[in-house]
Structures are given as structure tokens and as C-alpha cells.
Amino acid sequence: MARRRGGLYLRIAEPDNLRLAYLKARRGKRQRPQVKAFAAELDDNLLRLRRGLLGAEPLSLGNYRYFMVHDPKPQLICAAAFEERVLHHAIMNACEPVFEAFAIFDSYACSPSLPSFWPPTRRRRAEACRSAT
């Protein structure tokens, strides 16, 4: 039976969580025009995002920028607008502890608590143990 976690939605809309989400979303992208425009009116933008999450204002979602990448094969990339990226980070900030609690030990995908070099190291050790027997 699935368990429910209460209060996640309100945790997503907390001002501190939205500010942390903004800091994470802008990492490495400070000089981009979208980020500069969002930062110029930071408090107003975060308040508008919070009000949209709480239902006081409509949120405009789905503002993607589409472009093609041809390496190694043609792929259509859909990049979210900066405001939506802030929202994505806010959702993950609130939900990540719940996901981490239910992950098995060998779950490494996007886990901030485990180093990315562990999976190949553990695989090599497992292969060495199998070949030794």
C-alpha cells in the first residue's frame, strides 16, 4: 500500500525553498538574459511563483524553447523557461528527502549523497568476486 506524505505542496511554496531553488537554478547560468531578467525583479518573481503555487494567480507553464542537437544523432531538446526551472528545483528540494528514504542502497541516479564514481567501482568489485570463485 502506498504511503502519503503530507505538507509537501506547502513546503514547495515556502519562500525559503523558492529562494534556494532560484540559487540552484541560476548556478552556472548567471550571465544569461533570462536569469538576469528574473534576478532584476527577484522578490516579485518569487512572490508571483509562490502565489501561483498557492492558487492566488495563474501559473503559465509549458514555455519551452525547442532546438535540435545533432551529436551523436539528431535529437529535439525542450528547454524549460528559467521560471519553470526554479519551480522544478523547488519541487525536488521538497520531495528529495522522501525519495532518498525509499531508495535502495545501490540507487545512484542523481543522488547528491553518493559520489558518481561508486557504480563502476562497485561493479568492478562484484566482477572480481565472481571471477575469484
Whether residue 113 sits in one domain with residue 96: no
Q: How far is CA 39 from the centre of its chain?
A: 19
Whether residue 132 sits in one domain with residue 81: no
Mind listing the pLDDT tens digit for each residue in 13-44?
Answer: 999 999 999 999 999 999 999 999 999 999 99
Whether residue 78 sits in one domain with residue 23: yes
Helices 82-102 and 15-26: angle between axes, nearest 10 degrees:
110
Closest by Cα among 60, 61, 79 to 69: 79
Q: What is the mean pLDDT of residues 72-100?
A: 92
Closest by Cα among 94, 93, 116, 78 to 23: 93
The number of domains in the chain is 2
Check pLDDT > 60 for residue 1: no
The model's pTM is 0.77
Q: What is the mean pLDDT of the chain?
A: 86
Whether residue 131 sits in one domain with residue 81: no
Whether residue 65 sits in one domain with residue 22: yes
Whether residue 33 sits in one domain with residue 55: yes
CA atoms of 80 and 25, how far apart (whole Å): 11
Range of the domain at 116: 107-133
